[in-house]
Amino acid sequence: MCNRIQSVAERGAQAFAPLSQRTDVNAELCRLREEVRVLQMEKDIFKKAAA
């Protein structure tokens, strides 16, 4: 029971999704994290250029 509660808390609606769907969600999450990292670097570059 505790594992299920923790799983829902961590993954929300995807907690009990089929493995193929979870893999897609994980891949998208990795892609979005990389995009955020790149955008943060660009923001820092523009901030330095404006100073």
- pLDDT tens digit sequence for 23-35: 788 888 989 999 9
Q: Which amino acid is at 50?
A: A
Expressed as residue numbers, the domain containing 22 is: 2-50
pLDDT at 27: 86
| pTM for the whole structure | 0.56
Total domains in the fold of the chain: 1
Q: Measured between alpha carbons, how far is 15 from 10 in angstroms, rounded to an integer? A: 8
Q: For residue 1, how many C-alpha atoms fall within 13 Å in the half-sphere facing its CB?
A: 0
Q: What is the mean pLDDT of residues 30-46?
A: 95
Backbone φ and ψ of 36, nearest 5°: -60, -40
Q: What percent of the chain has pLDDT over 90?
A: 39
Q: What angle do CA 12, 16, 22 make, to 5 degrees?
A: 80
For residue 17, give both structure tokens. 């999704």
pLDDT at 47 over 90: yes
